[in-house]
Amino acid sequence: MTSAQRTLQEIAQLRDDQISLERAALLIAAEIQTDLNVDAYLTTLDGLALTLKKKISKDPSIAAQQLIDFIHKDEQFKGNIKNYYAPENSYLNRVIDTRQGIPLSLALIHLAIGNRLDINIQGINFPGHFLIRYEALENGIIDPFTGRTLSQSDCATLLKQVAGPAAVMNPDHLQQATNIGILARLVDNLKQIHWRNKNWESADLCLQQQILLMPEHHEFRIQYGAVQEMKGDRTGAQQTYLAILQETKNQKIKQTAAQRLLSLEKKPQTLH
């Protein structure tokens, strides 16, 4: 286990409100970018907050709008439309460097600076497009990709765009995301990119991170076994599936692990 992984494991054991999202997000990036200076980027976020603090209003609603404008107009953070699926859009240090990202990583900028300025912002686990809610604003749902305020009608339209024309809004779509859930979703975005690109080493790393963050979610371990198979690590995959059978009580997960194990036993051993 790497130093970054050990720290992630420690973070996952904290109470949700004790988790520093930006530190954890930078540690996730540091697994790939081994020379990444986490503290330097935390200092950069401190500096951004300090710049705005010098001119911020004492009125909570005005301060909230000032923060949105500061991020999207003054500092020019924006969605990376041209290269949306680039992995660097999910690495917080690269988002800070390039001022471009995806909804979730740009939401982290809002949450990090807002936390430093005592501006209450919540992440919203909206399907397919992460959103944020500014508590001080009357209509406080914001698209972090654009900085635009979204009405309920806008949210319904967005849902149809990401989930299909038959999708219908319900209250669960606007529920607050937990900090640990935000981190798991951040890693999941990266995992999906690497999986599509058949970059199994990077997908393996993402799954290790997800298992550390949410050890009770055994579906990640099933996926980890699948990636081991893709990498040609038959023995490792067998050990993963056997461990799942011994440790989980979820019958559906156990059935999947048993099926994968049986499939591996039927396959002839490849000579190298």
Question: What tens digit of pLDDT does each residue of 22-60 get?
Answer: 999 999 999 989 899 999 999 999 999 999 999 999 999
Q: Look at residue 184 and tell me whether its pLDDT is greater than 90.
A: yes
Which CATH number, 1.10.150, 3.30.160, 1.20.1070, 3.10.620, labels domain 3-174?
A: 3.10.620
Q: What is the DSSP string of 52-66?
A: HHTT--SSHHHHHHH
Distance CA 237, CA 157 (A): 42
The pTM is what? 0.92
Q: What residues form DSSP beta bridges with 79?
A: 101
Strand ranges of the sheet holding 131-134, from the earlier edge strand across to the other edge:
121-124, 131-134, 141-143, 148-149
Considering the chain, tell me which residue range(s) the CATH 1.25.40.10 domain(s) occupy. Answer: 190-266
Share the mean pLDDT of the chain: 94
Q: Are 92 and 20 in contact (CB under 8 A)?
A: no
Considering the chain, tell me which residue range(s) the CATH 3.10.620 domain(s) occupy. Answer: 3-174
Q: Look at residue 110 and tell me whether its pLDDT is greater than 70.
A: yes
What would the pLDDT profile of 139-158 be if each residue is shown by its tens digit?
Answer: 899 999 999 999 999 999 99
Q: Tell me how far CA of residue 158 lies from CA of 125, 174, 177, in angstroms.
A: 13, 12, 18
Q: Look at residue 114 and tell me whether its pLDDT is greater than 80.
A: yes
The pLDDT value given to residue 132? 98
**What topology does CATH give the domain 190-266?**
1.25.40
The pLDDT value given to residue 265? 83
The pLDDT value given to residue 1? 78
